[in-house]
Structure 1
Amino acid sequence: MTDGLASEGRVLLGGDLEFELNHQEATPEQRAFLESRGTVSRVASIRAMARGGNGEATLSELKAVDGAYPLVGAVETNPPVAIEDALSEQNGSFGVLAAPALLDRLGIETGARIRIGNAEYEVRATLAKEPDAIAGGIDFGPRILMSDAGLAASGLIQPGSLVEWSYRLALPEGASDDAIRTTREAVSSAFPDAGWRIRDRQNVSPRLERNIERFTQFLTLVGLTALMVGGVGVVNAVGGFVDRKRETIASLKCLGASGGFVVLVHLVQIMALALVGVVIGLVLGAAMPFAVAWGLGAMIPVPFTPSVDGLNLALGASYGLLTALAFALWPLGRAHDVAVSALFRERIGGVKGLPRLRYRLTGALALTALVALAIAAAYDRYIAILFVGAAAAIFLGLRLIASLITWAARKLPRPRQTELRLALTNIHRPGALTPSVVLSLGLGLSLMVTVVLIEGSLRRQLTGNLPEMAPSFFFLDVANTDGDRFETFLRERGADPQIERVPMLRGRVVSLKGIAAAEYPTTPESEWVLRGDRGITFSSAPPEGSTVTEGSWWPADYDGPPQVSFGAELARELQLSIGDEVQVNVLGRTITARIANLRDIQWERLGINFVMVFSPNAFRGAPYTYLATLSYPDGAGAEQERGLLRAVADAFPNVTAVRVKEALDTVNALVGDLALAIRSASGVTLVSSILVLAGALAAGHRHRVYDAVVLKTLGATRKRLLAAFSLEYLMLGATTALFGVLAGSVAAYAVVTQVMNLAFFPDITGAAIAAFAALLLTVFLGLVGTWRILGETPARHLRNL
């Protein structure tokens, strides 16, 4: 995806460079300067209500283009039609191209007429492909493409309207990256106070690229978790391997082989197998992007260029080999100093004791290298360090739980019931499955519980308290001359609605504390404030939903130098304090203000609030619009809300109405898709846990056969053995599931409260379902392996004892 963005950046941006302004168009001098460098196309973007002939209305994203659009790429329509013909004025109305979703929402078909603002338009085709769609960011309504003359006819462009004017510049064919950089610097030097945001084909969507990098890191952490679970499988497999090779090891030692030679021979075998596994993984991983491009390429909204990335393949191979080495040395090294007689004689207990110091140090070095590699290769090293710490804590916790289970089973009074007594004995006997089952199951379950609880908290945060606090509608672009009339209109059509109205402008932060915004140090949580335009307002009193925590508010009749109130949380992230200087560019004019106070803001109310609130005298005489909200104290039905939406669209065609429920449905859909992606990726770890758990049970097969043969010889029935093994797996699974729920809950709480800075809402049901599924899985896999053992006849095995 990153390669696709880089290679197709010119098409995605619509040119080599883009210069974006809010509220105002470029001056003739600015436009002439750009045209002296290449070909220029102007695009205007604005949100507006689209109304169908049946009275239905919906929020839409308008995009008005000039005759030069698109400079790069092509617009594809259904049915095919030339863009000039589709957007031209014919029979007294302009044409538009609309996203298929618009026709669905309005219940219309191609050829129908819709009303936007004060004008009527004909939908001449639907948009099949928009080459520069990604450059506009996330849309909250269906796209409508029209001509700039068509937008002018709508009457939507008023002083203070939330319009984004983008000027795409295509340099002469074959322009190098140096030419782009030179042009960018020349425009910035010529118009330092223009207030525009500049992008080029090398950074079409910095936010998207950052999100791709973050998701890549998440996938890396999931992969590392799966590898750690696989490391437990390596321990189980190597332990079983050494157990089965006792006679071979004893023979080698009898012939004079040293312990180090024996360990080295078997380590070479193990690492050779690990290398085979790594190669298989690399081949599958390298092929996966090509499979995705073939099967899902049309569904991916950005250019997807499958390729073989040697660096990342080498990184993956390093992860795999280091994991195998780190986890294999401990169980393999313990065989070094075991006496030959013990190897021949010990049939049940397995190899005990700590390996020699050399093996412990080598294993520790391999593990340290694995950790260092994970941190060094991470996009966010802080998150990587937290992951490593959490993984180590869960590993130690699971090992401690396994030891406690073994100790408790040994210390508990011997029950009278034979099956229960056998189950407890199996848990603490030499060579028991307890450590393997607890580690393999506990890691996967902990991650799944963490994911489930984080998702539940996000959903609860978005929707949990909405009926009590959230408004029903947001209204944008209410002209300042229509403010009182609009509020009266709403009150006449609602059941005593609560209406909040504040003035709104758009401004871009130019500098903080005298440091240019582009150079100001930020954190991941605060950098968004300095990117693009921000909504700002002015007020003589503190806004509702916020509390002044430091400093004081200006008097109602304040007429001194401009002052600003800043959000306290963001001020802390940006290291701002009372008296610091803030410069913002509004409508091409730079305003300098000093921070008078800091506020705690209750964003979860979904009411009207702003990071920056200025003193009223800061924008005296500047054109502005109102932003308004409407809430029904006793709630409102869907039909009542839709009726109000239609009434506002008819009476105030220039006002944009956003129904909060629809916006939240859009957000919930995005959260749901993200949760599905996260669960799917996390499922890799769960599948690894299942395979390792099955492998752990298989590794204990030899001891299980021995137990079953001895017990059957002494008269135990298949039913009694089955009950004993079931109780063993049930106790191990229940204890591990309890720890997994607790560890996952702690991890989710830390992520939600410390990383996301949100309130934590535990999803008990989701965690309980995950724990119950893990319990059933343990019992099922255990019994599947045990069933074949119970069918073994004692005679064949007794001959070999």
Structure 2
Amino acid sequence: MRGGVRGFVIFLLCLTLGVASIAAVNSVSEMMTSGIEREGRTILGGDMRFGLNGREASEAEKSFLARFGTLAETANLRSMARLPDGTNQTLSEVKAVDGQYPLYGAAQTDPAAPLGDLLAERNGRFGAVAAPEFFDRLGIEPGATVLLGGIEVELRGRLTREPDVLSDGFIFAPRLLISGEALRASGLIQPGSLVEYDYKLRFTDPALDPAGVEAQAKADFPQAGWSIRDAREAAPSLQRSIDRFSQFLTLVGLTALIVGGVGIANAVSAYLDGKRTVIATFKSLGSGGGFVVWIYLIQIGLLASLGILAGLVLGALAPFAAAGFLEAYIPVSTHPSVYPGALLLATAFGYLTAFAFAILPLGRTRDIAATALFRSNEGPGALRTRLSYALAAGALALGIAGLAFVMAGDKRIASVFLVATAVAFVVLRLVSVAIRTLAARLPRVRSTPLRLAIGNIHRPGALTHSVVLSLGLGLTLLVTLATIDNALRREIGTSIAARAPNFFFVDIQSAEIDPFRGRIAELAPGSSLDAVPMLRGRIVKLNGTDVSQLQVPPEGAWVLRGDRGVTYAAAPPENTTVTQGQWWAADYAGEPLVSFSAKEGGELGLKLGDTISVNVLGREITARIANFRAVEWESMSINFVMVFSPNTFAGAPHAWLATLQMPNATGEGERAVLRGISNSFPAVTTVRVKDALDAVNALVAQLALAIRAAAAVALVSSVLVLSGALAAGNRTRVHDAVVLKTLGATRGTLIRAYVTEYMTLGAATALFAIGAGALAAWYVLARVMRLPFAFDGGVALGVLAAALVLTVGFGLAGTWRVLGQKAAPVLREL
């Protein structure tokens, strides 16, 4: 150790990078999670939140809730806001609040003023505040007026901070905040309107148990259809996203650490090879193999501690560096700190990886005799490993896999990752063996540089295995992520845009559906309008069992979360095919029946004849599954998970949902439809699909940035391992170069030989990475995301170029120094 860490730089960098990435990801995740928990009441808007879709709470229900403390009422819906002259309009997320809002936190506005004053009615006109984006879309400033439904509202300020915005889920359009009185006066609330009413409680008694309140609410109002949350789950969708993304980035960080493990093995092998005379001296003086192993095992443990400590420092600093950036996108006070759990996890992964990859070269050192060490020029890597050391390495590898599996939130994804990593190591080993075998069997060529290059690929101690393994893993991950990213962008930006309708229309009243069709025919002749009735309902029971008591696979759980759009139909909808069971007759009048999406039904374990209970408008309806149907969600036409027989909702108030397809539509044509419908039917919500796709593209771009950063970490690990492998082979290269130069080889001949060798290895590795990465991307896209897969030639060429530049560049950087060695000192040591 007094000799310094020369020879272990790659070892330390690989450990530091891998440990730092795992520690940073989990520390930032814990920071965000603790921030959500700490501000749970502010994010939720109360100690408890009771949500109802499509209906207001009854007076009895409100009186029940008011018994526990202060009650605040809000209503959320989407609606069009229009300029008074009808020249411009925008979709907005309307939120109506009462005088108690907010119960926790504060709404910040510009100019700063009490919220009640800004929203109050003055001179027959209600006030409003809106998000800055609202003003940008309409090109107006505070003080302007807009039409909302059937009233004019005066915009009296910008809404700069909304304390409970995270608990409202995904906000698609800019916020427009008004009073409850203004919403009632606007005429936007009609039978069947898609509006969510939230009743937020601030407990009089802080010690009150939310679970007890929830149980009593369900017991006293079993048909209410409450969606109940307390401050412990203030923003469940955000928390799920954080957990999933954290798991994904942790697995990518673990990939970087495992790739770095190859560099650890190379560094240990090269170091022990350089210590041949020292080990020989130990053994000549009578020390056993175990004594030698323990010496270097302790040294490697100490060096590993240095690398892990450096990684932990970087990981611990990550929350402090990321806090300001995250607060700009997620309105949660982060309060960064040091998170021992995240650091402990990274430490465990670091030590397990270091020893798992170091134990094999250490084990080979044990059985080398002193005479072999003094005479051999091949080093310890030429011997077989004892079974006990191989078993120890296997046990450590299982420890890494077990820890990754236990810490994963989604066990299925963790299992796929672990299996894929193991298969990648085996396949890359086979690829390197195949390359060496092929090189050995090639016929003798006349070109001296080419003959030397081929010999370097298959000779004992060749770099083939190290280069293929280190570069192959990183490039495979890069190809996989780049292909998935390109496919998502292509699907959203091109394929979906080409298939999608131009507009979605929501909240069309039953009495207005015929006039609406007529107005569309005037505004967009030759277009295609598809309209269906729609209600909102939440699945509350499957086969009589409350869904909260069911263990549901993660891939199907989304169906049971929150409210779903439901419809009824006498005939199967377009773009669907009945796969099991029979559709009901057009005049069916028996027990309620439902058609369920086959894919989602299979994920929930449903079968024909099972029952589903859905709460719609405060009424629980139980229907029997009559058939399953294959739904083409990618068609972007109107589709539902559940389609009921028409008699199920006989007499229930509902609105209509419609889509408009405009062949060869121009931007001006779309704007004309938008203006015409907004002015003629102010209560109808119009969603321009292009705007929705732009919002999704922006979100995907942000996610892709994080994914590319994670992939870059793994690629940097591969580069470090590659440089270490090439450096470790330089000792042998020195002897080869000196002997060849002594026999008459020129520097140019040797350079051409090495360039040919490096290009061959780089190209072979890149070809494997392209194939393996494309296969992995196909699995994710076709089997997990259910998206079409297309091979991207640009990605392939980029990976091929990167492989050649890296191998040739790093190879020549080390080789240039080798070629400059003087012959005499080297020849004396042979």
Q: One fold, TM greater than 0.5? A: yes
Q: Secondary structure at the match of 2:290?
A: helix
How far apart, CA to CA, are the structure 2 residues paired with 1:205 and 1:82?
A: 26
How far apart, CA to CA, are the structure 1 residues paired with 2:68 and 2:304?
A: 58
The answer to whether the aligner puts 1:378 opposite 2:408 as a matched pair is yes
The answer to whether the aligner puts 1:482 opposite 2:512 as a matched pair is yes
The answer to whether the aligner puts 1:28 opposite 2:59 as a matched pair is yes
Q: Secondary structure at the match of 1:306?
A: coil
Asked if 2 retains the 8 angstrom alpha-carbon contact of 1:81 and 1:125, the reply is no
Corresponding residue of 2:28: none
The match for 1:617 among 633, 647, 650 is 647
How far apart, CA to CA, are the structure 2 residues paired with 1:522 and 1:469?
A: 32
Corresponding residue of 1:663: 692
Structure 1: stretches of 5+ with no match in the other structure: none
The answer to whether the aligner puts 1:677 opposite 2:709 as a matched pair is no
The answer to whether the aligner puts 1:529 opposite 2:589 as a matched pair is no
User: How has the CA–CA distance of structure 1 residues 495 and 772 changed in structure 2, closer, same or farther, with 3 Å as cutoff?
Assistant: farther
TM-score (ref. length: structure 1): 0.97
Corresponding residue of 1:265: 295
Percent identical pairs in the alignment equals 52
The match for 2:631 among 588, 593, 601 is 601
User: How has the CA–CA distance of structure 1 residues 613 and 601 changed in structure 2, closer, same or farther, with 3 Å as cutoff?
Assistant: same
The answer to whether the aligner puts 1:492 opposite 2:516 as a matched pair is no
Superposition deviation, residue 464 in structure 1 = 4.1
Corresponding residue of 2:315: 285
The answer to whether the aligner puts 1:730 opposite 2:759 as a matched pair is yes
Q: Which amino acid aligns with 1:74?
A: A
Corresponding residue of 1:544: 574
Q: Deviations over 1:269-288 (max 9, x none)?
A: 11110111111111211121
Asked if 1 retains the 8 angstrom alpha-carbon contact of 2:77 and 2:196, the reply is yes
User: How has the CA–CA distance of structure 1 residues 203 and 646 changed in structure 2, closer, same or farther, with 3 Å as cutoff?
Assistant: same
The answer to whether the aligner puts 1:140 opposite 2:172 as a matched pair is yes
The match for 2:100 among 59, 65, 68 is 68
Asked if 1 retains the 8 angstrom alpha-carbon contact of 2:364 and 2:380, the reply is no
The match for 1:448 among 478, 493, 501 is 478
Q: Deviations over 1:456-478 (max 9, x none)?
A: 33333334433553211100001
The match for 2:137 among 102, 105, 124 is 105
Q: Secondary structure at the match of 1:41?
A: strand
Superposition deviation, residue 294 in structure 1 = 4.7
Q: Deviations over 1:120-166 (max 9, x none)?
A: 11111111111001011111111111111111221101111111000
Asked if 1 retains the 8 angstrom alpha-carbon contact of 2:43 and 2:235, the reply is no
Superposition deviation, residue 239 in structure 1 = 0.9
Corresponding residue of 1:787: 816
The match for 1:332 among 348, 362, 385 is 362
Q: Which amino acid aligns with 1:729?
A: Y
User: How has the CA–CA distance of structure 1 residues 351 and 513 changed in structure 2, closer, same or farther, with 3 Å as cutoff?
Assistant: closer
The match for 2:89 among 35, 57, 76 is 57
Q: Secondary structure at the match of 2:567?
A: strand
Corresponding residue of 1:798: 827
Superposition deviation, residue 12 in structure 1 = 0.1
Q: Deviations over 1:380-404 (max 9, x none)?
A: 2222121111101110111111111
Q: Which amino acid aligns with 1:718?
A: R
The match for 1:129 among 161, 164, 167 is 161
How far apart, CA to CA, are the structure 2 residues paired with 1:240 and 1:136?
A: 57
How far apart, CA to CA, are the structure 2 residues paired with 1:551 and 1:382?
A: 31
Superposition deviation, residue 302 in structure 1 = 3.4
Asked if 2 retains the 8 angstrom alpha-carbon contact of 1:375 and 1:384, the reply is yes
Corresponding residue of 2:422: 392
Q: Which amino acid aligns with 1:522?
A: V
The answer to whether the aligner puts 1:13 opposite 2:44 as a matched pair is yes
How far apart, CA to CA, are the structure 1 residues paired with 2:815 and 2:396?
A: 36
User: How has the CA–CA distance of structure 1 residues 333 and 640 changed in structure 2, closer, same or farther, with 3 Å as cutoff?
Assistant: same
Calculate the aligned-residue CA RMSD, in Å. Answer: 1.6
Corresponding residue of 2:444: 414
Superposition deviation, residue 210 in structure 1 = 1.8
How far apart, CA to CA, are the structure 1 residues paired with 2:796 and 2:96?
A: 49
Corresponding residue of 1:308: 338
How far apart, CA to CA, are the structure 2 residues paired with 1:424 and 1:377?
A: 46
The match for 2:619 among 586, 589, 614 is 589
Superposition deviation, residue 98 in structure 1 = 0.7
Superposition deviation, residue 799 in structure 1 = 4.2
How far apart, CA to CA, are the structure 2 residues paired with 1:586 and 1:199?
A: 19
Corresponding residue of 1:775: 804
The answer to whether the aligner puts 1:156 opposite 2:188 as a matched pair is yes
Corresponding residue of 2:286: 256
How far apart, CA to CA, are the structure 1 residues paired with 2:75 and 2:557?
A: 26
Superposition deviation, residue 247 in structure 1 = 0.6
User: How has the CA–CA distance of structure 1 residues 646 and 297 changed in structure 2, closer, same or farther, with 3 Å as cutoff?
Assistant: same
How far apart, CA to CA, are the structure 1 residues paired with 2:51 and 2:700?
A: 29
The match for 1:87 among 96, 119, 144 is 119
Asked if 2 retains the 8 angstrom alpha-carbon contact of 1:437 and 1:696, the reply is yes
How far apart, CA to CA, are the structure 2 residues paired with 1:296 and 1:535?
A: 33
Asked if 1 retains the 8 angstrom alpha-carbon contact of 2:169 and 2:237, the reply is no
How far apart, CA to CA, are the structure 1 residues paired with 2:200 and 2:381?
A: 71
Corresponding residue of 1:38: 69
User: How has the CA–CA distance of structure 1 residues 445 and 517 changed in structure 2, closer, same or farther, with 3 Å as cutoff?
Assistant: same
Q: Which moved more, 1:229-238 or 1:581-590?
A: 581-590
Q: Deviations over 1:199-231 (max 9, x none)?
A: 100011222222211112112211211111111
Q: Deviations over 1:646-698 (max 9, x none)?
A: 11111110110011111111111111211111111121111111111111111
How far apart, CA to CA, are the structure 2 residues paired with 1:52 and 1:762?
A: 47
Asked if 1 retains the 8 angstrom alpha-carbon contact of 2:534 and 2:567, the reply is yes
User: How has the CA–CA distance of structure 1 residues 390 and 238 changed in structure 2, closer, same or farther, with 3 Å as cutoff?
Assistant: same
Asked if 2 retains the 8 angstrom alpha-carbon contact of 1:521 and 1:574, the reply is no
Asked if 2 retains the 8 angstrom alpha-carbon contact of 1:453 and 1:767, the reply is no
How far apart, CA to CA, are the structure 2 residues paired with 1:466 and 1:219?
A: 28
Corresponding residue of 2:16: none
Q: Secondary structure at the match of 1:525?
A: helix
Q: Which amino acid aligns with 2:71?
A: V
Corresponding residue of 1:403: 433
TM-score (ref. length: structure 2): 0.94
Structure 2: stretches of 5+ with no match in the other structure: 1-31
Q: Secondary structure at the match of 1:526?
A: helix
Corresponding residue of 1:120: 152
